[in-house]
Structure 1
């Protein structure tokens, strides 16, 4: 019988995780304003993967601490319920963003006399198939463009207890092997969550993206145990750099036809986002490996808690929600105004500043809203004598 794994001692918080999550949030915000000048400088222009893969990987990493630790400590039911509750919170946030998106574009269409805005992001189905589309929105089958990553994250959290159960029974490697096997099956048989009322499946296919989430979970669990998911080896580091350079070459020079013409299954050669194909996953893992070991060469890359991007990463859900609405509002502005350098700078710079401000406020509120512990001296100063330990209060 396999012995249950014990929960590791919690290490000191690594603010680099929040920092990179903040970078992912910033790039998601910029990428959600298509055509904006600064979109050219985000990671998707320099490799196979983009900010979405990094965000999901780091979500898995954080889940190791939030849910993996109590699960392995002997509270699997409590940890599972917490994960499901978090999925419920994400559902509520997603529905709020969906309704806010509808309101924003309907208002903009009426205010600016631009009926074309109604067809933006797939909102036109509300007019042609109203009841079916409303049912699809409520059941997550119909998702608007740029408001479709949270449903995938919800499904991943529903999967999480199963991953942790495999981990507890058979070990971390078995968990990762099961995740990879499911990812391969998903690519071979084209498994996906169904759309409704439209045909097809989800743009962010959770059956495929779970392998990225599981990789982050695996790395987080190894870090909690004081181990490296993949130890530093000069040849591995060099190979990761070489793959990043190859990916950069293909992306910058638009050599997609050469990549996709290779005589392999699409899961191995294509740069497909829906099914999280191998080039995208390998690019992400190479990036993570290089940046994980880069501080040994560049000690200046240490990140403090006060870093604005780290603050954004600590409050990823509210910052993501705000960034989503700001990016959609920027899309409306660029639709009705002539885009240019000054407008793009104002939209991107102002949006990022608002997200940093929100993160700073949430950091402040987290401290300010804590109830101070009452000290005996303070009670005496207030005229209330401190009660000796174990003495019952007198009845009046």
Structure 2
């Protein structure tokens, strides 16, 4: 959720564009039961917008934190990353409090307590003290308000990933992240829930691999390199994998993967631990778009593209989109999907997010203009005082002083 640039100092607008697309799809997917969720990326492959968002967060972190960290400012960068994690914790807490208050109000207004159970809010009523402890410690995360805790954990881990890069290189850092991912899957390593049993839905020990791969790509770009250079056979293989995953989803071939007798992490579609098919789908998707032909529209993304604006202000847009999605959930609660109503609600929500991004762009430009010293108009500049006139102004208010002032005016005339 930080800014990003290329090694030449220019901002890579493709990163912001795809991050904006991911934000829009996250908003749509956070409103279950609407028609347009059938059009988001999760219906065309094994991974979805969350994987893309975390990859791009790792990529952008290379520019926001990696460059100064590798330049020797390790303590300062570590503190900045942890401060950012604290900011995200506060945003998550605010969203959680909003969700609790808004859904409680809706339950009172509509007289239906079932609305509380829909997003894991029921424990606040049945076991409030334990649940409040869980909310404060991130042990209890509400449904649709559970992405930021994972990103908080990733930013806490970021200095360790960068230190590992210094120690063993970029590829060694990715290997270390891969081993942690495999260890988490093998031994079910996860952060605990409270007061429920189990672990986080977005397991940071697994998702850190996606973040680390994105970080590796960003660090390679900083060095003027490509993490995985273009290869025609590899590009064709990536396209084939994307096509195969699309057909798998389109024809609902669920259960077919079990015939191979492989562990679930190698053949299943688990999101908490980021199973291999999901990971490979994300990597194939990134590789195809990263090496898109020069004449492709994806190679000519402008700074003024609406989705680029969204991605440029990802945190406020994400927070606003999450709050709006919760509001739409209440509006739609208990109602069957209706194409026209769903379209209007989603269009209004996306319109507000695009408007916010446009305002934040304007606000940033206005702030820069204020900080830049502007020339003083000639009419407002102080008139220079000549020596004779200055002496006359300092003279005592008697006849001699008045004569001096007349003399000064005479010289001036």
- State the Cα distance separating 1:373 from its structure 2 match: 2.6
In 2, Cα distance between the equivalents of 1:73 and 1:379? 44
1:96 aligns with 2:97: no
In 2, Cα distance between the equivalents of 1:297 and 1:9? 22
* 1:359 counterpart residue number: 357
* 1:65 counterpart residue number: 63
- Residues 64 and 220, structure 1, Cα contact 8 Å, conserved in 2: yes
User: Structure 1 299/101 Cα, relative in aligned 2: closer, same or farther at 3 Å?
Assistant: closer
Please give the root-mean-square deviation of Cα atoms over the aligned residues, in Å: 1.7
User: Structure 1 273/290 Cα, relative in aligned 2: closer, same or farther at 3 Å?
Assistant: same
* 2:279 counterpart residue number: 281
- Residues 235 and 287, structure 2, Cα contact 8 Å, conserved in 1: yes
- Residues 65 and 221, structure 1, Cα contact 8 Å, conserved in 2: yes
Any gaps of 5 or more consecutive residues in structure 1?
Answer: 1-7, 387-396
The two structures have a TM-score, normalised by structure 2, of 0.89
Counterpart of 1:173 (choices 158, 171, 174) is 171
Deviations 1:102-125 (A, max 9, x none): 111111111122221121211000
- Residues 321 and 353, structure 2, Cα contact 8 Å, conserved in 1: yes
In 1, Cα distance between the equivalents of 2:69 and 2:287? 27
Runs of 4 or more, structure 1, over 4 Å off, are none
- State the Cα distance separating 1:224 from its structure 2 match: 1.2
Larger Rg: 2
Counterpart of 2:259 (choices 253, 258, 261) is 261
* 1:38 counterpart residue number: 36
1:374 aligns with 2:373: yes
- State the Cα distance separating 1:181 from its structure 2 match: 0.7
In 2, Cα distance between the equivalents of 1:106 and 1:369? 39
* 1:27 counterpart residue number: 25
- Residues 180 and 205, structure 2, Cα contact 8 Å, conserved in 1: yes
- Residues 14 and 298, structure 2, Cα contact 8 Å, conserved in 1: no
- Which aligned pairs between 1:1-396 and structure 2 lie closer than 5 A? 9-298=7-296, 301-335=299-333, 337=335, 339-370=337-368, 371-374=370-373, 378=376, 382-383=380-381
Secondary structure of the structure 1 residue equivalent to 2:291: helix
Deviations 1:27-62 (A, max 9, x none): 000001111000000000010000000000000011
In 1, Cα distance between the equivalents of 2:179 and 2:158? 16
- Residues 379 and 385, structure 1, Cα contact 8 Å, conserved in 2: no
User: Structure 1 282/266 Cα, relative in aligned 2: closer, same or farther at 3 Å?
Assistant: same
Deviations 1:302-322 (A, max 9, x none): 110000100000000000001
In 1, Cα distance between the equivalents of 2:345 and 2:315? 21
Deviations 1:232-284 (A, max 9, x none): 01000000011111111111111120123322222111100000011001000
- State the Cα distance separating 1:369 from its structure 2 match: 1.9
Any gaps of 5 or more consecutive residues in structure 2?
Answer: 1-5, 385-413
In 1, Cα distance between the equivalents of 2:91 and 2:298? 37
Deviations 1:102-150 (A, max 9, x none): 1111111111222211212110001111100000000000000000000
